[in-house]
Chain A
């Protein structure tokens, strides 16, 4: 099988071409440095299958960055049959700099003049025949985005690969030609492969080459001593670069005819004047980020609910006089009439009026309200059960026996009695009926109290569907033993559905992030943030892996390979988990939703947004601390080519989203499913392996283990102070180490078993399970926020930990990283809980922080003095 390598400058469309040729779905981003490792795929339209290797984007074959080393090593060591050099035709001269180096290698080369559609759009033309003639290698016009010219490119590449090619250099017509020629002859005599390439690199003083050819160096130095240059002196690297650019300007640049030579601002430049403004750049970024979260998580999209647009006055009438009664005159438990003449009861929470709830009545088959029950003899009954609590045979006033009862909506029900056996309420016979009766248009769109965001509408749709599935399963297992229905409905479905229902919001958030990334905006954000990051010891380049961390920490940690400085790389890897990944999203959303639903505090989208920002702030503070103490180092200059803005590719976006959804579902049905099963079992068995009912869950193995760890989390607000079910929070945090989705899956599995306010055997959604846990434990808002912060900043999932181990320079650094994550999460969560619960503790923390800062400043001064003395 032949192997063709794709080489080119960053962001010239290599991965788009790779995807188009191989049908792969590799991530394409409109920013330089997306690909940090080579990727392989197969092209099948040539006479024989061809392996295509997508190399990271590089500006030269000199070993300045890790990507350049990867690409260079591959081309020289793996010897591909052909190199397809992708040239961004909109930046021809700069891209040809790499071409001049690639052509020095003894390998067939084909040039793909990519982005020709953009060139034509600008009204420019390129004479590819002339370029081909001057380069002496095939040149093909392509547009990877529009998939044009690709077959021709591959045909010519395949034809080129069948003939050997000897390297040629544009330097052969420069003043350096004799020097390079002498070194080349010397290397050729030693049997070195690619002698021209190595000769040029040796003349350039390339660090890898000088290490490889130590024995030849004295001879080369002799050759160099005979050479003189008035401008560059003995800086041979600059000499070579200058010679290349001169040749490109003279011979290659004229192949392009520009429509207008007069300078004018492009659309991208005009947009950049606003978006990368030195003052407004960051506020604009924060606003865009807020809009993304608002569209994904807000339950009050247009703030109409908050503005009181949907507020209606509560109207009730006296049952005796029929007079209207004002809300402030309601009394708890009193019966009134609503506007339709139905009896309603005023429900209070403490001293606060909550709602007017319909007074429950049972109805007969004909839909008549049953106001009194009779026995067979026609005596009116108030106690409807016998001594054993069994319901008596009940009759109407005419002596007709009631066979079935119904509620006001016509659903079949049974009578629910209080401890005295008196009628209290009606209960659904069917779980499905109970579920369906609560579904209205308002469930999805929320038009009665506000307007939901698209993310919330999609979430509600999936949540309703999963709820219906669990109701069906619950009904199907009605005759099964309690443990079996508990395991399937509470354990498996409860855990799975509480996580799965967040899939639409995760995908929507990703869609927005992908739009920002593909349009080219994220590259600008890196540029804007460079100014801030630089002050804290990081370059803007470190921002890209961090942004990837919003998706998943693992590729983000791998992407830090683009950072040349080891200390900067270690610091970046350590803070990447603070950028909340998609697995942490259910934790944020469910708890934020729970806080809003139970306490009526804030908005879910604002809380989620604030927590994302908290992660970023903690990351910045952690970097400052690291870079000013143990990880001091120079910040390398950040040079990045800003890509032009373009509309994102629909196909690429969809492929990306589909891939994300596929992996999320796969994860749910493997690791999360297995975790929920284990959690349910160890929460329903005691240490001596006896099955426990839901009410006895506090005696379980899981409760025992959680209880042991509970005191550790007391300063964080979710430890011993939470009482009998507090261990659930501890267990959830620990199971999150396997996969962060497990935190909410654990709530989903266990919350339904804690029957304090919810019906048993009912799989709860993510938000409902959090509300259930709040009800059962009495946890406070600061403690819930601390719980989110702890999960966001603590040790990430096992897979991310393993990646960190592989990417960090040594074992000591890895151990320190684990310690750093534990310490950061503990400090951040305890600060939030303590300050949120007792505001005056903020002064204590401020004093401690001041002491730490003073200590660092003093330490740094002493360190600087010591170094100065040593110098």
Chain B
């Protein structure tokens, strides 16, 4: 495994962690509950929907 690939592996790992954390923070600030439990059974899905509409606007 070349040094380049090793560096790439570390960069990918850091990107995944940072990406997940940032996306969670953004979603949270937009009012989307990061529940991951499935919108179809969630009575709060309209809150997410309103957040998405705001985002579009």
Contact = CB atoms under 8 A, between A and B. Distances in A.
Contacts of A670: 20, 23
Interface in B36-56: 36-47, 49
Contact of B34 (A477, A551, A799): A799
Contact of A484 (B6, B19, B36, B41): B6
Contacts of B39: 25, 659, 663
A559 B28 CA distance: 20
B13 interface: yes
B16 A659 contact: no
Interface in B1-42: 1, 5-6, 9, 13, 16-17, 19-21, 23-24, 28, 33-42
27 contacts: A25-B40, A27-B40, A27-B41, A38-B46, A39-B49, A481-B6, A548-B41, A551-B37, A552-B41, A552-B42, A554-B35, A555-B43, A558-B42, A561-B43, A656-B40, A659-B40, A664-B36, A667-B36, A671-B20, A671-B24, A671-B36, A673-B20, A677-B17, A800-B35, A802-B33, A803-B33, A803-B35
Contacts of A484: 1, 5-6, 9
Interface string A455-490: 000000000000000000000010111001001100
A793 B23 CA distance: 29
Nearest to A561: B43
A34 B16 CA distance: 36
Contact of B42 (A40, A480, A555, A666): A555
Given A37-B46, A660-B38, 7 more contacts: A27-B40, A477-B1, A581-B37, A656-B40, A656-B41, A659-B40, A664-B36
Given A477-B1, A667-B36, A554 B46 contact: no
B16 A26 contact: no
A678 interface: yes
A40 B38 contact: no
A35 interface: yes
A36 interface: yes
Contacts of B5: 480, 484
Contacts of A802: 28, 33
Contact of A799 (B6, B13, B35): B35
Interface in A623-680: 655-656, 659-660, 662-664, 666-667, 670-671, 673-674, 677-678
B13 A677 contact: yes
A725 B33 CA distance: 36
A388 B26 CA distance: 58
A25 B39 CA distance: 8
Contacts of B44: 37, 554-555, 558, 803
B32 to A, nearest CB: 10
A541 B13 CA distance: 46
A559 B46 CA distance: 13
Interface residues of B, number: 29
A674 B17 contact: yes
B13 A487 contact: yes
Which size class do A's interface residues fall under?
35 or more
A552 B13 CA distance: 29
Given A488-B9, A671-B20, A799-B33, A479 B1 contact: yes
B34 to A, nearest CB: 5
| Pairs A-B, 10 closest by C-beta atoms | A552-B37, A480-B1, A674-B20, A554-B35, A27-B41, A667-B36, A659-B40, A555-B42, A25-B40, A659-B38
A678 B17 contact: yes
B8 to A, nearest CB: 10
B46 A552 contact: no
Contacts of A664: 36
A825 B18 CA distance: 32
A673 B49 CA distance: 26
Interface in A663-715: 663-664, 666-667, 670-671, 673-674, 677-678, 681
A481 B7 CA distance: 12
Contacts of B28: 802
A40 B46 contact: yes
A39 B46 contact: yes
A484 B1 CA distance: 9
A552 B17 contact: no
Interface in A34-69: 34-40
A561 B47 CA distance: 15
A135 B1 CA distance: 79
Interface-central residue, B6, B23, B40, by most chain A CB under 10 Å: B40
A756 B40 CA distance: 44
Nearest to A678: B17
Contacts of A25: 39-40
Contacts of A34: 43
Interface in A59-114: none
A35 B44 CA distance: 9
Interface-central residue, A477, A479, A480, A666, by most chain B CB under 10 Å: A480
Contacts of A655: 40
A554 B44 CA distance: 9
Given A487-B13, A671-B20, A673-B20, A35 B36 contact: no
Contacts of B20: 670-671, 673-674
A26 B40 contact: yes
A607 B56 CA distance: 48
Contacts of A480: 1, 5-6
